[in-house]
Amino acid sequence: MKKNVDVSVTGIHVRAGEPAEKIITNSKGCYEFLEDGTRILEYDEEQQAGSESVHIHNTVTIAQDENSMEIIRGGDMNSKLAFGKELKYDTEYVTPYGTMQMKVNTTKFDFTKIRQEDEMKLMAEYELEMDGQVLSASMIIIEIKNSEPA
């Protein structure tokens, strides 16, 4: 059964020699718990890319065992990211300015149900790497809350 949810996404990126960059996005989305135990979250967001605003559609798939998630981003910027306990994942990051080959190295992953299927929190700490160089130590926190009255 699909539920309307409020989605809060916090991204924190720390690059060498620079202060931490924190981005918070709040959206409305749709959440579904499938019969096989997989969870699907879909939401849209607008981000600034230079002087332009870009639209991104996100699909987050949480594995049945709750030990990993995959984020597929489509729209003006495309990427597929996978996070899981000590998971290393190669990906392409497609932007209006070109395509970059990147590696995502998950250092910590946590899935917490706050209320059975109404509220949950996903957190992944990871390193972004390109050409063998670590670009940033990062964290993503996705909080999902039922937006429908109980």
Residue 49: pLDDT band with limits 50, 70, 90: low
Q: So what's the pLDDT on residue 86?
A: 83
Each as own residue / partner, the long-range contacts of residues 9-18 (CB below 8 Å, 24 or more positions apart, any chain) are 9/45, 9/140, 9/141, 9/142, 9/143, 10/139, 10/140, 10/141, 10/143, 11/138, 11/139, 11/140, 12/138, 12/139, 12/140, 13/128, 13/136, 13/137, 13/138, 14/136, 14/137, 14/138, 15/135, 15/136
What is the identity of the amino acid at 112? T
Residue 99: pLDDT band with limits 50, 70, 90: confident
Please give the Cα distance from 52 to 93 (Å, whole number): 18
Residue 53: pLDDT band with limits 50, 70, 90: confident
Q: Which helix (H) or strand (E) holds 142?
A: strand 133-146
What is the identity of the amino acid at 20? A
CATH number of 2-146: 2.40.128.20
Whole-prediction pTM: 0.88
Q: So what's the pLDDT on residue 52?
A: 79
- DSSP tag of 96: T
